[in-house]
Amino acid sequence: HQDLHSQLKEFIPEQQERLKKIKSEYGKVQLGNITVDMVLGGMRGMTGMLWETSLLDPDEGIRFRGMSIPECQKLLPAARPGGEPLPEGLLWLLLTGKVPTKDQVDALSKELRSRAAVPDHVYKAIDALPSSAHPMTQFATGVMALQVDKLKILTVTKQTKCVDNSLLIKSTLGKMGSLWVGAMLSVGKYFADPAAFLKPLASGDWLTNCVKCLKGVQSEFQKAYENGIHKSKYWEPTYVDSLNLIAQVPVVASYVYRRMYKNGQVVPMDDSLDYGANFAHMLGFDSPDMLELMRLYVTIHSDHEGGNVSAHTGHLVSDSILVASALSDPYLSFAAALNGLAGPLHGLANQEVLLWIKSVVDECGENITTEQLKDYVWKTLKSGKVVPGFGHGVLRKTDPRYMCQREFALKHLPDDPLFQLVSKLYDVVPPILTELGKVKNPWPNVDAHSGVLLNHYGLTEARYYTVLFGVSRSIGICSQLIWDRALGLPLERPKSVTMDWLEDYCKKS
Ligand code: FAM
């Protein structure tokens, strides 16, 4: 099969069987001991979640479905020969576990373009915020608004013919506005037999029925859920929502950028471009190297196993669906993930690094000596701040996402003064953090590098950087979300305890 959906349809039943077998054969195998330190230390080191799309090794870094970043760069289809991987290829890999052909990736690019339309009310929701609001707040607001379906607002007269199914609706319009009828008609489209669905509404209980319809007018998952979809089919509407969401987020994100920094002059999507390139294009950047950078950026920021703040948040929130919290569809889950990503110790480090580097230059100039740089790092630490871009919750070596960006810089912008400063920091910071004695990983992470690359190509607004991270994360988080539904993963509900409980328990044991 050539298309992504058919491949998944084949792959999912195999994996469902596999999970059943793991449960029945190994269900009682112990995976480790939980210590008090782990409970107090933010659950670090506790294995406690299934996340199929990627796995993080403390020394090697991330592997997407078993493939390292250099392997992805070598094997995933690229736009130019030997160029950076196309993010659509990574999406295919995360979902199916297989490396797609170039034709498959091209078809997926096209499909994503066809799903990218963003309803007007999303822009209006963003416009309701002051343009000085943090870009992540604007972006997350846009994503929340995406969850609300495009309403077909029809002008309803006393007798309106429903064009979709040629049903004549005799309206008692006194009680309801045209918006409601519009909502109803757009929901009507979803049902297998819209005429049968709408018929009782023509004669009967308007208000009750309309409220029922309105609830359904949101994500495809929600519509299906409201309509009583069987548990085993949950993944199908989640797949539709996820692909739509992945397709729409660059459009929303670039709107935020153009609104904030380019007087609201929007650049429309280019139908000849792939996902990453189109995103750069809609932001207003068209140089071939920037397009390559965006493909690489989106690919490497997409997924980092399940326990990091944004991925875990998306997963946690979405899983509440299974106890019939009718709200947590992919849009809401991803919006929650974005709010987690916006924290300074997580995704906001993307922005913090460039701001910090610029503060170094402001204070010491571009030709800073190693001694001056050391002093500046110590000054940051002594003022009770972290050195952004260094350290990690799981990694214990230099992040391969840092390394591939470094290689990109060596290839395309070796003389950029800020890149040279970043290189210098690679020598200077780790020994200082090691000297502190408490930092478990003194090496740079992904965020230490991304800013100087973007800055080089003219995307200089550091406050915006985490939005790019967010767009990339839609690929990883939504891929796993489809698998959460396919595998029927249960609601997460870890046990919590109090200090009293800990003291009593430890004294007794
Ligand atoms: N600068 C100064 N102190 C640091 C540090 C850094 N870069 N990294 C860790 N430490 C400190 C940390 O604050 C903690 O101090 P206290 O005991 O006084 O609270 C101590 O070292 C032990 O921390 P750890 O166990 O090594 O790290 P954690 O797992 O607690 O935290 C990070 C991991 C990423 C939050 C931490 O290294 C950090 O704050 N780094 C700077 C911010 C950053 O770059 N975040 C981005 C992470 C990234 F990969 C991502 O999510 N995108």
Parse the chain into domains and list their residue ranges. Answer: 159-217
Contact 277, 79 (CB under 8 A): yes
Give the tens place of pLDDT for each residue, 48-93. Answer: 999 999 999 999 999 999 999 999 999 999 999 999 999 999 999 9
Handedness of CA 26, 30, 34, 38 (dihedral sign): negative
Give the tens place of pLDDT for each residue, 154-196. Answer: 333 333 334 333 233 333 333 344 444 444 444 434 333 444 4
Task: Using alpha carbons, select from 93, 132, 84 the residue that is nearest to residue 11.
Answer: 93
Find where tokens 């929901």 sit.
Answer: 187
Contact 122, 252 (CB under 8 A): yes
Q: Please give the number of the atom of ligand 1 that sits closest to the Cα of 353.
A: 44
In this prediction, residue 61 carries a pLDDT of 97
Neighbours of 374 (CB within 10 A): 15
Give the tens place of pLDDT for each residue, 337-346. Answer: 999 999 887 8
In this prediction, residue 213 carries a pLDDT of 40
- Between CA 119 and CA 99 the distance in angstroms is 33
Give the tens place of pLDDT for each residue, 306-336. Answer: 999 999 998 888 765 443 333 468 888 999 9
Q: Which residues in 127-237 belong to E strands, given as ranges?
A: 159-162, 167-170
To test the pocket of ligand 1, the residue of 439, 445, 466, 477 to mutate (highest count of ligand atoms within 8 Å of its CB) is 439
Looking at 274, 319, 329, 447, which residue is catalytic? 447
What share of the chain has pLDDT > 90, as a percent? 73
Looking at 281, 315, 392, 449, which residue is catalytic? 392
- Between CA 393 and CA 440 the distance in angstroms is 8
Neighbours of 139 (CB within 10 A): 28
ipTM of the complex: 0.99
- Between CA 43 and CA 394 the distance in angstroms is 11
Angle between helices 400-412 and 417-436 (to 10 degrees): 150
User: Which pair of tokens denotes residue 495?
Assistant: 């046990």
Q: Could you say which residues of the chain have pLDDT below 50?
A: 151-217, 321-327
In this prediction, residue 153 carries a pLDDT of 32
In this prediction, residue 148 carries a pLDDT of 79
Query: What are the residues facing 78 on neighbouring strands?
Result: 85
447 is catalytic: yes
Query: In this structure, what DSSP letter does residue 48 have?
Result: -
How many residues belong to the chain? 509
Residues with C-beta less than 6 Å from any ligand 1 atom:
308, 345-347, 349, 381, 386-393, 433, 438-441, 445-447
To test the pocket of ligand 1, the residue of 37, 345, 429 to mutate (highest count of ligand atoms within 8 Å of its CB) is 345
Mean pLDDT over the full length of the chain:
86
392 is catalytic: yes
* DSSP of 244-290: HHHHHHHHHHHHHHHHHHSTT------TTS-HHHHHHHHHT---HHH
* DSSP of 381-439: HHTT---TTB--SS--S--HHHHHHHHHHHHH-TT-HHHHHHHHHHHHHHHHHHHHS--
Tell me the HSE value of 405 on the side-chain side, using a 13 A CA sphere: 28
To test the pocket of ligand 1, the residue of 352, 429, 440 to mutate (highest count of ligand atoms within 8 Å of its CB) is 440
289 is catalytic: no
- Between CA 83 and CA 274 the distance in angstroms is 13
- Between CA 226 and CA 214 the distance in angstroms is 11
Protein residue closest via CA to atom 48 of ligand 1: 346
Contact 18, 11 (CB under 8 A): no
In this prediction, residue 318 carries a pLDDT of 72
Contact 198, 169 (CB under 8 A): yes
In this prediction, residue 198 carries a pLDDT of 47
